[in-house]
Structure 1
Amino acid sequence: MTENSSHPTIGSSSGAPGARKIAIVGSGYMGGGIAQVLALGGARVALSDVSAEVAQGNYDRLLVESDQFVSDGLFPAGSTEILKQNLWAAKDIEEAVADTDFIEEAVPEILAVKHQTLARISAAARPDAIIGSNTSTISIAELSAPVSNPERFLGVHFSNPSPFIPGVEIIPHAGTSAATVGAVRELVHAAGKQTAVVKDTTGFVLNRLQYALFHEAAQLVEQGIATADDVDTLVRTTFGFRLPFFGPFAIADMAGLDVYNFCYKSLQKEFPERFATPKVLSDLVEAGKLGTKTGAGFLNVPAERTPELIAYRNKAYVAMQKLLDELGPAPIG
């Protein structure tokens, strides 16, 4: 990521004149959800697709969905009226991106289709307009090929369903300017989302983690060690139960990095390559940095804050169980 002392902003954060102008290219399930998020965040958002009819159809669908979400208590009252004010369907890509501050490409995960779409966006948009791609797997550097001024291009990866998942993965390629990254993070934060900036590598971070878990789970089922239902039950009710509150490094710090180090040695007896101890872990253990009990680990939580952390953890887990009891089991049985 290249450094840039300037820090462009993308319009204002209100729906009033001077609000951010955004275009979503690809108005289907993902693109439409992203449009809802940004429009409810105060931006003026154009929807575009392969035809004006498709864009208009998805615009109408998003309003119907919003009414249902309001009825179900998932969107605040008045959300549909905000969408009607801030969202509109363009006749084509060129009309959608004209004079916009930010464009999000959300077309199918086919490199040729994305290249063709990004070429049209780049040709029709302002030369300083920031362009993002919602790709979940394709190299951002590879996608940037048809984009003029590629320092303004990056990955902006929302998760499904985008109105309700709070995290967004921001992926600059080597030539993306720091100013571009900063401006996009501000835009996403203004819509109430959280961001993490990661490097442009195969699968980025979200999908490398997600598919690593799925790969191990699938092997357990294939080998007859557990059923798919039993694996899902264990994930939901044990380590997965912690994940809304703590990431893997915070969990390891609380468990004790020496404990993790020992468990890796046990796993290596059967799976020496797959469960080789990560060097970053063994280095910390060798340095006596064992997590919260020593006040230093991956996250360096001071030892004196451990009681506060444990109290939060226990409160969080009880609250999670109450929520699950209130919701009842998911209708997948």
Structure 2
Amino acid sequence: MGGGIAQVLALTGAHVALADVSGHVAQSNYERLLTESEDFSANGLFPEGATDILRETLWPAEDVEQAVRNAAVIEEAVPEVLEIKSDILSRISAAAAPDAIIGSNTSTISIGALAKAVQNPGRFLGIHFSNPAPFIPGVEIIPHEGTDASAVEAARQLVQDCGKSRAVVKDVTGFVPNRLQYALSREAVRVVEEGIATVEGVDTVVRTTFGFRLPFFGPFAIADMAGLDVYNFSYKSLQAAFPDEFAPPRILTDLVEQGRLGTKSGGGFLNIPSERIPDLAAYRNKAYVRLQKPLEELGPPPVD
């Protein structure tokens, strides 16, 4: 993750130092990132000339202290162990300029808990890229209760400069993508354990049904287009079989009671003017057809 994030940042033209457990390892990673970049460029995944940019903007540091000494923004991406992260964040904040922004790429550990290891914790927050960082477009920005507004704005600008999408979310366990991702993973495993479908069957259903919509629409837009009355009924049907897990959410039932049923009524979770609904439907249909074409060109993934 750290190497991929370094590539993303360095391709903006920023000067990026790599630090690892030793200068030797940092040098090895630097060379690996250049080799990767050449391969990515050859396959059209990085722009032409990307490797030359990285040669000018990336450099391997002897240690963490050297890497952060003159940095304006620092991103920590060590293993997901509280003690390891706390130790490295303590070293970073002791060696960095007092106003340097410090971000963590943690995917599950509380930002507030990590902030205890940081001097001047107002400059600390989560900046969570997803793997592989060069190719996944979304980044979570996660302030803790004491994060300064200026640090949040600096992180937003950094992510924008990288050409990424960003969302500011609260500091809770799992944040947003992992909370949603692992909810799906939990149910997928249960479906297999209960003999409802095979592993291959679940993967096929997810990627070719509701998962097919997700590059274009989030769950709230999808619900609005399906109809919130339909969702409410479906929740009640599931509740009959799974009473502790699928009770209709209060926010959903409130909207249905108000007659806000999604696009069919002009308002639901989102407010979509009725005159825009034909455009939305046309976009949706075009998007799904166009997505199918590159999938056919790529062919099936190389998994059994």
> So what's the TM-score if we normalise by structure 2?
0.99
The code of the aligned residue for 2:280 comes to L
- Runs of 5+ in structure 1 lacking a partner? 1-29
Task: Name segments (4+ residues, structure 1) moved above 3 Å.
Answer: none
The structure where helix makes up a greater share of residues is 2
User: 1: distance between equivalents of 2:9 and 2:244?
Assistant: 44
Structure 2 counterpart of 1:313: 284
Structure 2 counterpart of 1:11: none
User: 1: distance between equivalents of 2:168 and 2:26?
Assistant: 31
| Partner secondary structure for residue 241 of structure 2 | coil
- Residue 79 in 1 paired to residue 50 in 2? yes
- Percent identity (aligned): 69
Structure 2 counterpart of 1:21: none
Structure 2 counterpart of 1:154: 125
Structure 1 counterpart of 2:161: 190
The code of the aligned residue for 1:119 comes to S
| Partner secondary structure for residue 276 of structure 1 | coil
Structure 1 counterpart of 2:7: 36
What is the CA deviation profile of residues 234-253 of structure 1, one whole-angstrom value per residue up to 9, with x for unaligned ones? 00100000000000000000
Q: Is the 8 A contact 1:94 1:125 kept in 2?
A: yes
- The aligned length equals 304
| Partner secondary structure for residue 131 of structure 1 | strand
- Residue 67 in 1 paired to residue 38 in 2? yes
User: 2: distance between equivalents of 1:220 and 1:34?
Assistant: 35
User: Which of the residues 199, 206, 217 maps onto 1:246?
Assistant: 217
User: 1: distance between equivalents of 2:62 and 2:239?
Assistant: 59
User: 2: distance between equivalents of 1:295 and 1:90?
Assistant: 56
> So what's the TM-score if we normalise by structure 1?
0.91
What is the CA deviation profile of residues 89-144 of structure 1, one whole-angstrom value per residue up to 9, with x for unaligned ones? 00011110012100000001111111110000000000000000000000000000
What is the CA deviation profile of residues 220-267 of structure 1, one whole-angstrom value per residue up to 9, with x for unaligned ones? 000000001000000010000000000000000000000000101111
The code of the aligned residue for 1:156 comes to I
Structure 1 residue 46: Cα displacement: 0.3
| Partner secondary structure for residue 269 of structure 1 | helix
Structure 2 counterpart of 1:304: 275
Q: Is the 8 A contact 1:139 1:200 kept in 2?
A: yes
User: Which of the residues 108, 122, 143 maps onto 2:114?
Assistant: 143
Structure 1 residue 177: Cα displacement: 1.2
User: Which of the residues 88, 96, 99 maps onto 2:70?
Assistant: 99
What is the CA deviation profile of residues 45-81 of structure 1, one whole-angstrom value per residue up to 9, with x for unaligned ones? 0000110000000000000000000111111110000
Instruction: Name which structure has the greater RCO, CA cutoff 8 Å, separation 6+.
Output: 1
Structure 2 counterpart of 1:176: 147
